[in-house]
Amino acid sequence: MALLTVKNLTKKFGGLVAVHDMTFDIEPGEIVGLIGPNGAGKTTLFNLISGIVHADQGSLMLAGKSLIGMRPCHRSRAGIGRTFQVVRPFDMNVLENVMVPALTRTRDTSKARKAAMEVLEMMGLAEFATRSPGNLTLAQRKRIEVARALATQPKLLLLDEVLAGLNPTEVAENLPLIRQLRDTGVTILFIEHLMDAMMAVAERVLVMDQGALICCGTPREVTSDECVIKAYLGEEDPQC
């Protein structure tokens, strides 16, 4: 059974159709990339899956259970973790930031502290545990964002441009993390603009344009697909 089943998902903002009739599945253990030009509706899709905005139509299922009508906190507890494109650390130190989601899995603060420390160690942030996120670099703050999502013990992790804004060295450092995360048993759907990164990590790529899913396949298939090229480079021929 697919981990995430999305069927005919549609969301309109006034007259703008942000997500239009999307249907796809994600299998357990996959690393799926999501690409598309700016304004294609990628982040809206994440917001729909994580419950920050509610769908107008369509169905969403996690491991066979419908998510429609569930609030974000309940979806998180059901197993959907996400990061935000613009990092949003809480006004507390790094460890406490990660303890917040850990405390949704246990009420015991010492257990949560231990769990948070483990996540921080895995993310290479242990030495910054007592620092304020405001004093860290963007790359480190993006790692906090991922660490927080991981501390919810997600089945499906939605990563929204965790590599954007990082310099090449930092990208190279953060990239293996995605594979490493999957190896711990998490299924990953990630938005990324950096094509190299996408090609290196994704096993399957979904391409969105103007709210719709226009293509889906392996990275190699996708890059040679005409519709994708047109979506990015503009059309020569109106028929697609």
Q: Which is nearer to another protein, 62 or 197 (CB)?
A: 62
- Using the rule CB under 8 A, is 126 a contact of another protein? no
Cite the DSSP H helix spans in 186-225.
Answer: 195-201, 219-223
Q: Do residues 162 and 174 make contact, with C-beta atoms less than 8 angstroms apart?
A: yes
Pick the binder of another protein from 2, 52, 68, 199 (CB under 8 A). 52
Q: Pick the closest to residue 87 from 43, 129, 142 (CA basis).
A: 142
Of 5, 43, 44, 50, the one binding another protein (CB under 8 A) is 50
Single-letter residue type at 46:
F
- Count Cβ atoms below 10 Å from residue 210 Cβ, excluding itself: 16
Task: Please give the DSSP secondary-structure letter assigned to residue 191.
Answer: E
Angle CA 33–210–71, to nearest 5:
65
CB atoms within 10 A of CB 197: 21
DSSP state of 70: -
Q: Which stretch binds another protein (CB under 8 A): 26-34, 57-65, 85-93, 163-171?
A: 85-93
Q: Segment 53-82, which members bind another protein (CB under 8 A)?
A: 71-74, 76-77, 81-82
Is 100 a binding residue for another protein by CB under 8 A? The answer is yes
Which of these segments, 7-15, 16-24, 88-96, 210-218, binds another protein (CB under 8 A)? Answer: 88-96
- d(Cα 63, Cα 26) in Å, to the nearest integer? 10
**Stretches 54-62, 93-101, 117-125, 226-234: which one binds another protein (CB under 8 A)?**
93-101
Select 47 or 204, whichever has its Cβ closest to another protein. Answer: 47
- Using the minimum distance from each CB to another protein, give the nearer residue, 147 or 198: 147
Given the rule CB under 8 A, which residues bind another protein?
50-52, 71-74, 76-77, 81-82, 84, 88, 90-92, 96, 99-101, 103-107, 109, 112, 130, 148-149, 151-152
